[in-house]
Structure 1
Amino acid sequence: MKEAKAELQRIIAIPEENFSDYIEQKKSEIVNFHLNNNLFYKELAQTDSFKNWSDLPILNKTNLQKPLAERLSLGYNEKSVYLNKTSGSSGHPFVFAKDKFCHALTWASNIYRFGWYGIDFNSSYQARFYGIPLDFIGNKKERFKDFLTHRFRFSIFNLSDQILEGFLKDFKTKKFDYINGYTSSIVLFAKFLQKKNIVLKEICPTLKVCMVTSEMLFEEDKLLLEKQFGIPIVNEYGASELDLIAFQNTDGQWQVNSETLFVEILDDNNQAVPNGIPGRIVITSLFNKAHPFIRYDLGDIGILDEKSTPKKPILKQLIGRTNDVAILPSGKKSPGLTFYYVTKSIIEDDGNVKEFVIKQTKINQFEVEYVSDSELNEEQIDKINQAVALYLEPNLLFTFNRKTTLERSKRGKLKQFTSFL
């Protein structure tokens, strides 16, 4: 960690005018390393030498669904690297590896960015809204890690009012410094506080900031969190196999990690698009020698801000996942989150609906599953149909199913839109 922190500070100190040279040097180094030391990558690239960046293949999650031993670089084995697995939220889970220096840099990057808000990983006490393994050994292991790292975990698999009441008691009795966890669970807790007319900072005065991750944070939800928590709300975007990709800075910008990653926004022909234009988010890990993540397509769509520079790229918008696109009867393609925006603004007007997800079952049919105090009425459903016709296209059929709870992934994530086409 000492080496990693020193390396990160050295990178941060590079002047803006020299930063492009730094990026080009690191890109060349990591590609040449893997061409010379990683048979998996050499076969994928189908070349012995690196000439043009744009000629390098795009690596996707399907490429990585083979035994890890076949993907590791020479000199590395499963005992000498950091191992983990992706959540599978994209539908393509896989095991990945980082060499230990790369993993230490990931933590140095986290420590640096959280430090913008006065959070010290060695001493600050975290209220953690995450899933947890339910098997005995996995559960105890995770709880022990939480103890060592100053975290108190709120399990998010059951978020009934009775359980949330228990969360509230913990905030009254524990001196938390910050909240970190999945967006949907934290928003649900904020709605519970809203119903009880409670501002969290007033009952837990030590709270400084809340960082949400892993799921989309909508502007209305951010405003709700700010109001009910009484603290700044920080949006982060990351991938466990890479690093923190973007983290909201103190000016409210989603600042992209340019120290350890190279982020590209590409069109369908794998060509870079101008800043301000949406495209596929493709990322290169500049330091991972154990496993290649070179021009790695995350499966997300985003836009870089026109004001971006090589040293300080700004993520203007994260639109959603490429596999979360609805294909409509007219042939139009719409990001699944469009439906979410349209319905969200209407069915949450009175605070009745707690959570909902949308599923496309046929080209013109969608199911909305929702958790609420009472059923949606005809007037609300009619408003949704009108909004869908206006923003998307007419004659789409929606059915509404009220549920007591919504299905989450094994890690507790909530998938907001799914197409079954």
Structure 2
Amino acid sequence: MLSLFDLSLQLNGFPMKEAKAELRKIVALSEKEHEAFLENKKVEIVNFHLQNNPFYQELVGSNATNWDNLPVLNKRNLQKPLLKRLSNGYSSKNSYINKTSGSSGDPFIFAKDKYSHALTWASNIYRFGWYGIDFNSSYQARFYGIPMDFIGNKKERFKDFLSHRFRFPIFDLSDGVLEKILKKFQKKKFDYINGYTSSIVLFAKFLQKKNILLKDICPTLKVCMVTSEMLFEEDKILLEQQFGIPIVNEYGASELDLIAFQNPNGEWQVNSETLFVEILDENNQAVPNGTSGRIVITSLFNKAHPFIRYDIGDIGILDEKSTLKKPILKKLIGRTNDIALLPSGKKSPGLTFYYVTKSIIEDDGNVKEFIIKQTKIDTFEIEYVSENELTATQIQKIEKAITIYLESGLKFSFSRKEKLERNENGKLKQFISLIKEIKE
């Protein structure tokens, strides 16, 4: 008997039964069989697009001699009308169409054929199942953005109803709103939490201040999945302390699939069933496991639109113990465009500032959240939300730490805000560079 969630997907033309059966088959393959499956799928998807997709034919030209010669795509390649990128036989009527969030600064519209999108859902269902979560029956507390226009809002609310979830819009997370969210947890029997990392961390800080363990007031809670933004180790510890449940780190991209999902052994397991993930250097050559490089992903099933060797804009490291069937993401370092260019010519990931300032200004729990903007090559603005203004001593400490981690002579200004600007989806971009030289 199909349940409401599966049924709604099936009615929208996503063949869930077939997708789930195919995924079960792939998961059951041995290491050796998986290797053969992967090679076949790579050849099959490239050949399909070379024969049926004029956009991809043009991109590849005469480079189709072997896998390593295929071009690496990025979002800018794809910022042209969708109709020019679709494969023959696919249209907006018979495909799943959506747009990326633009959190990397390069939003674009993409398509998946319906079978490929059904596999994405099958993959989600399979992974959430590791923690006893069933999309048809488990009740989700969802910390996400929501469209503000009437129709978009109602559509999303209806989807929430079908998907058995209750949404907390995250555009305003002041204490009064967090108090209301807390009351919902007292009344409703939520099974799990899912949503943007920064919003869920903010809720945990609120609980910490009130000395409340969430599991005590909502005993049905089993697990919390955070997504879309970096999860820092100290935030993970805080979430575990205040929620009293396992915290699962999820890494995905709307145009692809779930890319990596923390398994019950605490490993960040890469999806090798519907994706092929490579880590490449700047010359598009694969780097050895254990070495950092650009995360480049191939969607093995999407026939409507080519995502073949697609540079997602993130830097990461695969664990040395990874295999083709079970790759493990050792570390996600952050987006390639979150790089600060310094006066000495040094390039530093934006996260460096984040770690430095985070370690110092969060000691007393005064600062709730902050973002760092680079406005000139030697000038940075730190915007923060806090109970009290930062003291001169705290500011001195931050500046000293930045000199140690980065270089001396950098200028900083600090401005306290009521709330921070999030993008239209409600995500918080923690480091923003406003200087042109950094953009590729």
How many residues align structurally?
420
Q: 2:203 pairs with 181, 189, 192, which one? A: 189
SS in structure 1 at match of 2:371: strand
Aligned partner of 1:238 in structure 2 is 252
**C-alpha deviation, 1:392, in angstroms:** 1.1
Aligned match of 1:8:
23
Q: 1:279-305: per-residue Cα shift (whole Å, max 9, x none)?
A: 100000000000000000101000000
1:65 aligns with 2:65: no
Of 29, 32, 39, which aligns to 1:24?
A: 39
| 1:18-417 map, 5 Å | 18-47=33-62, 50-417=64-431
SS in 1 for 2:312: strand
Alpha-carbon displacement from aligned partner over 1:42-97 (angstroms, at most 9, x marks no partner) = 000113x8431011001110111111111110111110001100001111111111
Report the Cα distance in structure 2 between the residues aligned to 1:148 and 1:111, rounded to whole angstroms: 15
Q: Secondary structure at the match of 1:280?
A: strand
The alignment-based identity, stated in percent, is: 78
Choose 231-240 or 390-399, whichever is displaced more: 390-399
2: CA distance, partners of 1:82 / 1:210:
28
2:33 maps to a residue whose letter is: N
Equivalent-residue separation in structure 2 for 1:108 and 1:148 (angstroms): 16
Cα distance between partner residues in 1 of 2:286 and 2:18: 34
Deviations 1:314-363 (A, max 9, x none): 00000011111001111111100010000000000000000000011111
Quote the Cα distance in structure 2 between the aligned partners of 1:25 and 1:371. Answer: 52
Q: How far off its partner does 1:365 sit?
A: 0.9
Deviation at 1:18, TM superposition (A): 2.4
Q: Is the 8 A contact 1:32 1:50 kept in 2?
A: no
What CA deviation, in whole Å up to 9, does each residue of 1:232-274 have, x standing for no partner? 0000000000000000000101000000000010111111111
Aligned-pair CA distance for 1:226 = 0.2
**Unaligned regions of 5+ residues in structure 2, if any?**
1-15, 436-440
Counterparts of 2:80 and 2:117, CA distance in 1: 22
CA RMSD between the two structures:
0.7
| TM score, norm. by length of structure 2 | 0.95
In 1: Cα distance, 2:163 partner to 2:271 partner: 24
The amino acid of 1:35's aligned partner reads L
SS of the residue aligned with 1:127?
strand
Which stretches of structure 1, 4 residues or longer, exceed 3 Å deviation after superposition?
A: none
CA contact (8 A) 1:267 1:279 kept: yes
Q: Tell me how far apart the structure 2 counterparts of residues 379 and 20 of structure 1 sit (CA, whole Å).
A: 57
Q: Which is further off, 116-125 or 20-29? A: 20-29
- Secondary structure at the aligned position of 1:265 is classed as strand
Provide the rounded CA distance (Å) in 2 between the counterparts of 1:351 and 1:30.
Answer: 51
Distance (Å, rounded) in 2 between the aligned partners of 1:331 and 1:308: 35
Q: Which moved more, 1:206-215 or 1:387-396?
A: 387-396
Structure 1's unaligned 5+ residue stretches are: none
Aligned residue for 2:24, secondary structure, equals helix
